[in-house]
Structure 1
Amino acid sequence: MSTYVSKEIRAELDAARIATLKKASRLRVEMGDNTYKILKLWKDGFTVEAETTPRLRGLVDIFDGANHLYQCLIVADEDEGGEMRYEFKRSTAAHDSAPLDFFRAPDAPIALLGHDD
């Protein structure tokens, strides 16, 4: 029995696999004003569709829907099966507020209320 698959059939299988991944993923990567769908995300990197996404490089932001997850410095790794793989050089979790430079007690009041005399 032969396991040979023609180039045309392999291309169709890759296209169907990528279409399924694109439907299932809410993740996206933003570089400047451009947004691209992330097919897979893991601890050290992610993949995007190689055919429709230009070569990304440098500082990007990763979102899950409207939630900003990470700001990352990336480098291209390899193109495999229609997916372009990127590795993180640096990945920083995004926060919705600025970090504090002092200790805030857990039971500290949120605000001070004035009273009228």
Structure 2
Amino acid sequence: MEAIFSKEIQDGLNEARLAALRKSTRLRVDVDGDLTPVLRMWKSGFTTQAGGPSLRGLVDLYDGSVHLFQCLIVATEEEAGEMQYEFKRATAVTGKAALDFERADDAPVGLIADGRQPEPTAGR
């Protein structure tokens, strides 16, 4: 069954839906220090409230204070009060730098020092 509402009622329902999404989300997009709330996110993109800042290019995606992704985005369409963005690239952020070599599974985790000072070399 499909219900048809007047334009005023539909606008009110859309505004209530957007308000609920704004309250329930912790996701944010950071563009040069400006934070924009993310209403919904899926595998290939996300939405923000329409009428907000126009986003394009390289952005950072956060869940609260946790940096999740560095994304290259492009705006696709505006629908029902939401602006949709698609990921061209979404790179997960890790806590350490990428290695440029393969680490062996049995490699030592660290070196243990014996606490002795090295002896000075003679003749220098």
What 5-or-longer segments of structure 1 have no aligned partner?
none
Structure 2 match to 1:28: 28
Aligned mates of 1:75, 1:66 — CA distance in 2: 24
Q: Secondary structure at the match of 1:13?
A: helix
Q: Secondary structure at the match of 1:62?
A: strand
Offset, 1:80: 0.6
Cα deviations across residues 72-116 of structure 1 (Å, max 9, x unaligned)?
Answer: 111111111100000111111111111111222334333212113
What 5-or-longer segments of structure 2 have no aligned partner?
117-124
**Residue 68 (structure 1) aligned with residue 67 (structure 2):** yes
TM-score by length of 1: 0.88
Aligned mates of 1:3, 1:65 — CA distance in 2: 37
Q: Secondary structure at the match of 2:86?
A: strand
Q: Percent identity?
A: 52
TM-score by length of 2: 0.84
Q: Which amino acid aligns with 1:69?
A: L
Aligned mates of 1:116, 1:62 — CA distance in 2: 45
Aligned length: 115
Structure 1 match to 2:87: 88
Offset, 1:6: 2.4
Q: Secondary structure at the match of 1:84?
A: strand
Q: Which amino acid aligns with 1:83?
A: E
Aligned Cα root-mean-square deviation (Å): 1.6
Select the structure of larger CA radius of gyration.
2
Structure 1 match to 2:77: 78
Q: Which amino acid aligns with 2:75?
A: A
Cα deviations across residues 11-30 of structure 1 (Å, max 9, x unaligned)?
Answer: 21111001111111111111
Offset, 1:3: 4.5
Q: Larger strand proportion, structure 1 or 2?
A: 1
Structure 1 match to 2:120: none
Structure 1 match to 2:113: 114
Cα deviations across residues 24-75 of structure 1 (Å, max 9, x unaligned)?
Answer: 1111111111001111101110000113x21111111111111111111111
